[in-house]
Amino acid sequence: MLRAFFLAVLALMATPVTAQSWYNVEVLIFARDHGSSEEIWPADLQPRYASRSVSIGAPQASEYVDPDALSRGAWQPLPEDQTVLQYMMERMASTGDYRQLYHKAWSQPIGDKGDTLPVYLSGGQTLATDDGNVPELEGTLHFSESRYVHVEPRIWFNTQSNGQRFYVDIDESRRLTGHEVYYFDHPMFGMLVRITR
């Protein structure tokens, strides 16, 4: 009996337990209506991002979500009074140089990269293309946590310059340390990520 108990304890000690912490995430993505048209952008880029993902507001549609996290309200939009970036967007939009593409806030568990689902984002206008209707903005944000929280964006923006449509992307992985709001820059669009516990 005692031997069986010790074997059970050893089995538990040998099994890695992945701890996940809960965070509130707020994301604001905006287009620069006067983005630089002098740079030459590759015309053949196509969106590439994680196929296993979860959508804000409809997490139950993903077969990969953790049922426990789902029952605790993960990936559901937070009330407006729990957001702060909309005020910044309103001030930016008042200049006439920026246009909102996406703004949402939610709670989610974040742990090891392999155990944390990327979040799928889409926004902006719906564009009619040769391949059918596509969102102006789409992609994923993949959060993970080891010692610090990290985010790996794969965000694609369908824009145009000199009458030509093409995709540009933000794919700068970053460690989130010491600040609440992080800015990701591109000449054609930008992203703000706010993460709090």
Give pLDDT tens digits for 18-45: 578 999 999 999 999 875 556 777 888 8
Q: Quick check: 63 pLDDT over 70?
A: yes
Residue 101, amino acid: L
170 close to 136: Cβ distance less than 8 angstroms: no
Binned at pLDDT 50, 70 and 90, residue 8 comes out as very low
pLDDT at 196 over 70: yes
Q: Mean pLDDT lowest for which of 12-26, 45-59, 129-143?
A: 12-26
Q: Which backbone phi and psi does 108 adopt, to 5 degrees? A: -160, 155
What band does 14 get if pLDDT is binned at 50, 70 and 90?
Answer: very low
pLDDT, tens only, 126-139: 999 887 899 999 99
3-state DSSP percent of the chain in helix, strand and coil, to 5 = 20, 45, 35
